[in-house]
Amino acid sequence: MTLAPDNQESGVPLWAFVAGATALVAAAFASVWFMFPAPDTRHDLVSPSGTARIELGELCGGSGCDRVAILDVQGVRTGCPLALESRKPLFADVKAAWSEDESDVVVDYVAADGQTGSLTIARGDCTITE
């Protein structure tokens, strides 16, 4: 059988090519996944009715800590401002006390070094969309 120059058989079976390509793509995704650091702390605070959830997280580095609170109400996610100053993680342990109508939550926190504090997150203040 004669083949045209642009239609020559390769010595690599199709299954080996597919397996190699899959491994290469998986390695690329894994390297991107591990490129970003995990947060120092992360907590999910769910309202008693289960209709609202606030995710608290903080990532600390040499220049300080970035803290986020994200409100999730039935799939709509908005950010809540957090006015806390500290160069160390504060949310080692948190306890949430939701108001009766679940319009706000009081978060009591304990840092790893024993520092304690409290903050109130009002659902109406969670309007940051980016």
CB 107 within 8 A of CB 96: yes
- Report the domain count for the chain: 1
Q: Which of 9-18, 65-74, 76-85, 115-124 has the lowest mean pLDDT?
A: 9-18
Mean pLDDT for 38-42 is 74
Helices (H) and strands (E) in the chain, counts: 1, 7
Residue 40 has pLDDT above 80, yes or no: no
Q: Which domain holds residue 89?
A: 41-125
**Is 4 among the domain residues?**
no
Instruction: Give domain status of residue 23, yes or no.
Output: no
pLDDT for position 33: 64
**22 within domain boundaries:** no
Q: Is the pLDDT of residue 106 over 90?
A: yes
Domain membership of residue 103 (yes or no) is yes
Q: What is the mean pLDDT of residues 43-72?
A: 87
Whether 117 and 101 have beta carbons less than 8 Å apart is answered as no
Q: Is residue 95 part of a domain?
A: yes
Q: In whole angstroms, what is the distance from residue 50 CA to residue 72 CA?
A: 10
Residue 97 pLDDT level (bands cut at 50, 70, 90): very high
Residue 8 has pLDDT above 70, yes or no: no
